[in-house]
Structure 1
Amino acid sequence: MSWVNVCNESTLPQGTGVAAWVAGKAVAIFDLGQHGLYAIDNVDPATGVSLLARGLVCDMEGVLCVASPLYKQHYSLETGICIEDEALVASPYEIKKEAGQVLILAKS
């Protein structure tokens, strides 16, 4: 596994998601400012559609989540586990900001 430079941190929108192609996979990135930087699979496990970056970010009983735009399942931004159905998981990625860049640890 290796760190992949995704973008300059100044181009990353805050409070919403953006999709990026990282080592052949679609990744949803969420910069929530003081609440953290998160990355999970962009593909919704319930539908197979690549759209989680377009979902609404919300707090479900203290868990930061993204709501899938199609059927509204909520995926934890930390673990990727679906709140409504734990069998559905949008795998999380390690992500960090370093020297003004946003880096994601690519999975093999």
Structure 2
Amino acid sequence: MSWERVCDTSALPVGKGIAAWVAGRAIAIFNLGTQGVYALDNRDPASGVSLLARGQVCELDGELYVCSPLYKQHYRLTTGACLEDPQLRAQKVDIRIDEAGVWLAGA
């Protein structure tokens, strides 16, 4: 697996999502501080629009989700599974952070 450096850790706002272009696709990155850093494909599976990074992060039944700003489906940050429709799934992207910055697994 190849890794691509995206940014310094200081560039990730805490509690919000940002989008990054990695290996030819948009990735949504969510920095939740002590709760971890997560990455999903930025494309909303329900609409096909690249906007998940702009979604509201929430916790439901002890699990972390991002709520799509368009149709309001909730996608689990750890797996990409959709709470409302099991047939929908945002692709999870491997992410790591070290002293050199934020890294995403390439395609």
Pairwise TM-score range, normalised by the shorter structure? over 0.9
Q: 1:65-76 alignment to 2 at 5 Å?
A: 65-76=65-76
The runs of at least 4 aligned residues of structure 1 exceeding 2 Å deviation read none
Cα root mean square deviation, aligned = 0.7
Deviations 1:26-77 (A, max 9, x none): 1000000000000001000000000000000001111100000011000000
- Unpaired segments of 5 or more residues in structure 1? none
Shift of 1:98: 1.2
Equivalent residue, structure 1, for 2:62: 62
Structure 1 counterpart of 2:22, one-letter code: V
Deviations 1:10-40 (A, max 9, x none): 1111101000000001100000000000000
Structure 1 counterpart of 2:54, one-letter code: R
TM-score (norm 1): 0.96
Shift of 1:86: 1.1
Deviations 1:63-107 (A, max 9, x none): 100000011000000000100001101010110111140000112
Q: Secondary structure at the match of 2:30?
A: strand
Structure 2 counterpart of 1:83, one-letter code: L
Equivalent residue, structure 1, for 2:28: 28
Q: Secondary structure at the match of 2:39?
A: strand
- Unpaired segments of 5 or more residues in structure 2? none
TM-score (norm 2): 0.97
Structure 2 counterpart of 1:29, one-letter code: I
Residues in 2 aligned to 1:100 and 1:59: alpha-carbon distance in whole angstroms: 30
Q: Identical aligned pairs, as a percentage?
A: 57
